[in-house]
Amino acid sequence: MDLLTALHAATDEFGRRLALADDDDWTRGTPCSGWDVHYLAAHVVGGNRFAISILGGMTASAAIEEVMSTSQLGDDPLAAWEDTSVAQLDAFHAAAVFERRVDHPLGEITGREFLEFRVFDITVHAWDLARSIGADDQLDADLVDAVLGIVDRGPAGMGFGIAPLGEADDTASPQARLLDLTGRR
């Protein structure tokens, strides 16, 4: 699966589950320590906004400031998700995004590397969201394989301090291995 297809698949996985969230779900805890469903959704929508900004040429610090000054979900979390997802997909489809350098909190990286971060983040959080709201947590198998490839190429914990559990062996399913690598069960 190529990276743009993976971004579309990750976007579908998260969006499908977010559409299932009801009023009682927003305060449920998630596998992300200290985060509830509202915070998790705001994190992913904020990540979309951040991506749109830095792919548009903004510095990471300016993009973070812009994102932090905005209510991520507003009155309609699903609409915020859908609007920012479409804009993020459009930004990544722009010409020469793979080779272009972008400013990121981890330093200057290529658009391709940034796309890998976004695919990773949205995919893993789709699973988190599913677990939190009691939805189907089985991720698309091709997407899982793509994200495993990203994790293999990327820095440990994808640069975000995520510690693998080290419990999944070679006989575990690809999804179980991915979850283990991201500190999840």
Question: For position 91, which CATH number holds?
Answer: 1.20.120.450
Domain range for residue 66? 3-139
Q: What is the dihedral of CA 130, 134, 136, 140, to 10 degrees?
A: 10
How many domains does the chain divide into?
1
Confidence at residue 71, expressed as pLDDT on a 0 to 100 scale: 87
pLDDT of residue 154: 67
**pTM passes above 0.85:** yes
The answer to whether residue 145 is domain-embedded is no
Is 99 among the domain residues?
A: yes
Average pLDDT value over all residues in the chain: 91
User: pLDDT for 16-35, tens place per residue?
Assistant: 999 999 999 999 999 998 99
Q: What pLDDT does residue 97 have?
A: 83
177 occurs within a structural domain: no
pLDDT at 158: 53
DSSP secondary structure of 43-79: HHHHHHHHHHHHHTT--HHHHHHHHHTS-SSTT-HHH
pLDDT score recorded for residue 161: 56
Residue 20 lies inside a defined structural domain of this protein = yes
> CA-CA distance, 44 to 77, in Å (whole number)?
11
The low-confidence residues of the chain, meaning pLDDT below 50, are 157, 159
Q: What is the pLDDT of residue 182?
A: 86
Question: Please, which contacts does 81-86 make with residues 24 or more away whose CB atoms are closer than 8 Å?
Answer: 81/14, 81/15, 81/18, 81/41, 81/44, 81/45, 81/48, 82/15, 84/45, 84/48, 84/49, 84/52, 85/11, 85/15, 85/48
167: in domain = no
Is residue 184 in some structural domain?
Answer: no
Q: Which residues pair with 101 in a beta bridge?
A: 110
- Dist CA 29 CA 32 (whole Å): 8
Q: Tell me what pLDDT residue 157 has.
A: 47
Query: What is the residue type of 141?
Result: A
In a domain, 31, yes or no: yes
Is 63 inside a domain boundary?
yes
